[in-house]
Structure 1
């Protein structure tokens, strides 16, 4: 009886596997070149809790040192806590501000890096000659979980990544991952957003969620075959434990 059941289960699993579409973008033409204009590549915006690296340069190196962390200055004791190693970065507070040396509180949330750079440079022009600013995210990372080879959180030095690259870093989807229903979780402007991508379709390329932002989470959901397998394994385990307990009880009474 048990062998017949297992045989039927294997047949059902095999049938379901044969019907699954494991190819990405299977609706693309098999031959020839495919082109389309990229319109959904948006530069990430600074958000509360982001950690920013900000380095300043100008034609006056000595005066510039005041605005770079890790340099001892004589401006005032109240600003001493701001002068740490540059790798510490500037943490954007819950209201979206950073505490910048000499200038003080500056609103960064909602700005792109280019906009933040222009804002800082404008403020610095009253202190420095021809200042420039370089800004980087120190916490640009994405998390990939679910039916992938190596679920993990990945730091992205280039600050640019799409969902396919993230899946590649995580070892790609397993054969049980639902390619037509990949969940993207994003927090932006105090709002948590969720969207599902169909990676069997080329329309994913045009989604605003194709290019990831800092702290995005990708969840690859298991298909019905994996869910059924997990349920079946649990039932077998429960049955085995119950049977073992019964046999142990019988043996204890016999001896």
Structure 2
């Protein structure tokens, strides 16, 4: 009897185990990679996506700059002045002075402007707020200009991320990529197929669920374009990725061992 002879069932078992490991490896990469269904091409053109015009909300901090020619009249509106703001006025082709102030939109949706008093800006876009302020200061200032921008863009990322927390992003607009990057991205133990956005914006509250493995995320403006104060929550797997895949491998491998053992037993019984 040739002791070096390898039983055919053993070869079949090894081959099956190899195929299973290869399949499991492919399955693992699909669980970890973003946008798995993108075409396999060097270049893929995404549809154009408009940047949403931000709405002023309670709790926003606004940078308001008044540019005027008459220095004395502008002084009444100054909360504080600085050289940088004067330079902005010069850049705009206006002599004299300018006042730049950080305004907090209060719980009533208002800011308080010197001389003018309280002005409700919540619910307006930046351009609409500029026009409203311009109309209110025009009786007091000659040929004024008003500049307005947002000082904050806060997003919160919670759950199975490397660095959960609230983040102030130094931009007027933000994207899903920026929010996830601020939180250190997702570890292997995160459910990329079960991510949710909790949104309370412009009087509307909603929850959006999405799958980061799908390329459709890139073309959905309600997901890809963040809104101020968005909360992203990432679900965690019940176990680590290794345990999950190893459990699958072990289960199938056990079935294969049982089948081969039964086959060998039956074969030996016939001899």
TM-score (norm 2): 0.66
Q: CA deviation at 1:147?
A: 1.4
What is residue 24 of structure 1 aligned with on the other side? 34
Confirm or deny that 1:61 pairs with 2:71: yes
Structure 2 contact 46–219 (Cα < 8 Å) conserved: no
Change in Cα spacing, 1:132 to 1:204, as seen in structure 2 (3 Å) is same
Change in Cα spacing, 1:225 to 1:87, as seen in structure 2 (3 Å) is farther
- Residue ranges of structure 2 left out of the alignment (5+ in a row): 1-20, 82-98, 244-271
- List per-residue Cα deviations over 1:65-87 (Å, max 9, x = no partner): 3223136xxxxxxxxxxxxxx89
Secondary structure of the structure 1 residue equivalent to 2:129: helix
1:215 aligns with one of 229, 233, 242: 229
Structure 2 contact 111–118 (Cα < 8 Å) conserved: yes
Secondary structure of the structure 1 residue equivalent to 2:130: helix
Following TM superposition, the consecutive aligned residue runs of length 4 or more in structure 1 with deviations greater than 4 angstroms are 14-17
Structure 2 contact 65–101 (Cα < 8 Å) conserved: no
Q: Say which one has the larger Rg.
A: 2
Confirm or deny that 1:45 pairs with 2:24: no
The alignment's C-alpha RMSD in Å is 2.8
Secondary structure of the structure 2 residue equivalent to 1:181: strand
What is residue 225 of structure 1 aligned with on the other side? 239
Q: CA deviation at 1:36?
A: 3.1
Secondary structure of the structure 2 residue equivalent to 1:29: coil
Structure 2 contact 70–142 (Cα < 8 Å) conserved: yes
- List per-residue Cα deviations over 1:121-147 (Å, max 9, x = no partner): 222222222222222323321111211
Confirm or deny that 1:166 pairs with 2:182: no
- Residue ranges of structure 1 left out of the alignment (5+ in a row): 1-10, 72-85, 230-255
What CA distance in whole angstroms lies between the structure 2 residues aligned with 1:223 and 1:17? 15
TM-score (norm 1): 0.70
